[in-house]
């Protein structure tokens, strides 16, 4: 569907226009069109392709989505694919934004989990001196918005990892926490696959290859986005290292718990071995047996067993086995 279709002349917004008026507006000097689409159907995508002369391969990618972040140049038109991310109640959802940039137009196509670009539009319109530079500044604003939206997701993931890590060190963890750590590790791998190529995308956009779409005086803004993309990747790597260390610690603590349980079982088994051995001997049907006819025989045997068991209990307790 069409989210918005707006024309800008000399950095100022014109009234919303229908698609049919786009060709006429593109012929006017210092004017460009920003068309926003949300999961367009095939008919709408074909209409947009015809209006702006988009390459059929780029239009197909934008319609079907499931693209990795990339930059492709088709004549004087630029096609950019980005991955967006959102986190809600610990669940990470990914989406895509595809951008077509030409000398007189910018088409944004959103799929899946993606915030509205109304804030980006308002930001651009508040800087008419930069907006008059053309679609290149809008491209920067969208890139900056997409990249910066990774930070809240990473902050929430960091809080989750810290809370689980704190429970591990306090000893208050369950088996489900280990499964949760593995799930977090999988999510971080997905975030890295989405964020890592954006460093290359931002770096590539600063080259002279895209001089027609991105003016020279706009490129410093792309360096700022490139720096943010680097920070995101560094944060992801740091979280992955922390998560890996936490997993190792959790496995070590789990092994320690098992060893403690094994030691306690072995200690009680050693204590029970003494009375088991003595009473099994006295349970045999022998006619001649030590102290069998003595009046104090059984009390002495019982007392001796109790003394030995008490000695073993204190020794094992002191050694930390009980």
292-318: pLDDT as tens digits:
666 666 777 777 778 877 877 777 777
State mean pLDDT over 284-290: 64
CB atoms within 10 A of CB 150: 25
Per the CB < 8 A criterion, the answer to whether 32 and 106 are in contact is yes
Nearest to 46 by CA among 59, 37, 34, 35: 59
pLDDT at 159: 83
Same domain, 123 and 241: yes
Per the CB < 8 A criterion, the answer to whether 302 and 256 are in contact is no
Contacts of 76 (CB under 8 A, 6+ apart): 102, 103, 212, 213
State mean pLDDT over 273-302: 69
- The listed range with the strongest mean pLDDT (251-255, 266-270, 280-284) is 266-270
User: Nearest 5 degrees, angle CA 279-CA 283-CA 294?
Assistant: 80
Give strand pairing partners of 86: 93
Q: What's the order of all strands across the beta sheet hosting 70-74? A: 12-13, 2-9, 31-38, 105-112, 91-102, 77-88, 70-74
Same domain, 113 and 93: yes
Instruction: Compute the distance between CA of residue 198 and CA of residue 232 in angstroms, rounded to an integer.
Output: 10
**SS3 of 111, please?**
strand
**80: domain CATH number?**
3.30.460.20
Tens of pLDDT, residues 58-114: 888 888 878 888 888 888 888 999 988 887 776 788 888 999 998 888 999 998 888
CB atoms within 10 A of CB 73: 16
State mean pLDDT over 227-241: 87
State mean pLDDT over 141-161: 87
Mean pLDDT estimate for the chain: 81
Same domain, 42 and 148: yes
Give the least confident one: 27-36, 152-161, 176-185, 218-227.
176-185
Same domain, 55 and 204: yes
pLDDT at 284: 67
Same domain, 278 and 200: no
The DSSP symbol for 251 reads H
pLDDT at 293: 67
Contacts of 169 (CB under 8 A, 6+ apart): 249
Instruction: Compute the distance between CA of residue 142 and CA of residue 202 in angstroms, rounded to an integer.
Output: 12
Q: State yes or no: pLDDT of 11 exceeds 70.
A: yes
Same domain, 30 and 147: yes
State mean pLDDT over 276-297: 68
Q: Are strands 12-13 and 31-38 parallel, antiparallel or unpaired?
A: unpaired
State mean pLDDT over 281-294: 65
Q: State yes or no: pLDDT of 288 exceeds 70.
A: no
Number of domains forming the structure of the chain: 2
Same domain, 290 and 243: no
Question: Which range of residues forms the domain containing residue 208?
Answer: 2-254
Token output for 96: 């895509």
Per the CB < 8 A criterion, the answer to whether 154 and 236 are in contact is yes
pLDDT at 31: 85
Residue that is written with structure tokens 């020279």 in the block: 216
- The listed range with the strongest mean pLDDT (9-13, 252-256, 263-267) is 9-13
Per cent of the chain over pLDDT 70 is: 86
Same domain, 168 and 302: no
The model carries a pTM of: 0.74
Domain boundary among 207, 237, 254: 254
- The listed range with the strongest mean pLDDT (138-147, 148-157, 199-208) is 138-147
Phi, psi of 45 (to 5 degrees): -65, -35
Domain boundary among 254, 273, 294: 254
Instruction: Compute the distance between CA of residue 269 and CA of residue 257 in angstroms, rounded to an integer.
Output: 18
Q: State yes or no: pLDDT of 181 exceeds 80.
A: no
Per the CB < 8 A criterion, the answer to whether 225 and 143 are in contact is yes
pLDDT at 263: 73
**What distance, in Å, lies between the first and last C-alpha atoms of the chain?**
69
pLDDT at 254: 66
Same domain, 292 and 225: no
Helix, strand, coil percentages, rounded to 5, for the chain: 60, 15, 20
Contacts of 51 (CB under 8 A, 6+ apart): 19, 22, 23
- More reliable by pLDDT, 29 or 149: 149
Same domain, 82 and 19: yes
Position 142 confidence tier, pLDDT thresholds 50, 70, 90: very high
Domain boundary among 236, 254, 272: 254
Same domain, 297 and 202: no
Q: State yes or no: pLDDT of 134 exceeds 70.
A: yes
Instruction: Compute the distance between CA of residue 13 and CA of residue 53 in angstroms, rounded to an integer.
Output: 24
Per cent of the chain over pLDDT 90 is: 4
Q: State yes or no: pLDDT of 172 exceeds 70.
A: no
Same domain, 93 and 164: yes
């Amino acid at each position: 569907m069409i989210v918005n279709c707006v024309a800008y002349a000399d950095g100022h917004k014109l009234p919303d226009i229908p698609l049919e008026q786009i060709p006429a507006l593109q012929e006017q000097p210092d004017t460009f069109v920003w068309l926003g689409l949300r999961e367009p159907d095939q008919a709408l995508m074909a209409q947009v392709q015809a209006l702006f002369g988009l390459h059929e391969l780029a239009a197909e990618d934008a319609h079907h989505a499931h693209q990795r972040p990339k930059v492709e140049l088709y004549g004087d038109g630029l096609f950019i694919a980005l991955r967006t991310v959102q986190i809600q109640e610990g669940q990470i959802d990914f989406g895509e934004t595809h951008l077509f940039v030409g000398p007189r137009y910018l088409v944004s196509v959103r799929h899946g989990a993606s915030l509205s670009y109304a804030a980006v539009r308002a930001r651009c319109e508040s800087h008419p001196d930069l907006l008059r530079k053309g679609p290149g500044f809008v491209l920067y604003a969208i890139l900056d918005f997409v990249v910066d939206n990774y930070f809240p997701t990473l902050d929430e993931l960091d809080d989750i990892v810290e809370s689980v890590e704190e429970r591990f060190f306090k000893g208050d963890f369950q088996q489900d926490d280990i499964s949760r750590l593995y799930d977090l590790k999988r999510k971080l791998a997905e975030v890295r696959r989405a964020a890592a190529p954006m460093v290359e995308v931002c770096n590539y956009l600063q080259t002279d290859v895209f001089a027609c779409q991105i003016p020279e005086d706009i490129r410093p803004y792309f360096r700022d986005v490139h720096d943010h993309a680097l920070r995101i990747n560094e944060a992801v790597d740091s979280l992955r290292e922390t998560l890996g260390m936490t997993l190792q610690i959790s496995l070590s603590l789990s092994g320690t718990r098992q060893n403690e349980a094994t030691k306690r079982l072995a200690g009680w088994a050693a204590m029970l071995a003494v009375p088991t051995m003595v009473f099994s001997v006295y349970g045999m049907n022998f006619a001649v047996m030590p102290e069998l006819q003595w009046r104090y025989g059984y009390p002495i045997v019982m007392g001796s067993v109790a003394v030995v068991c008490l000695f073993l209990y204190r020794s094992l307790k002191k050694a930390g086995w009980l």
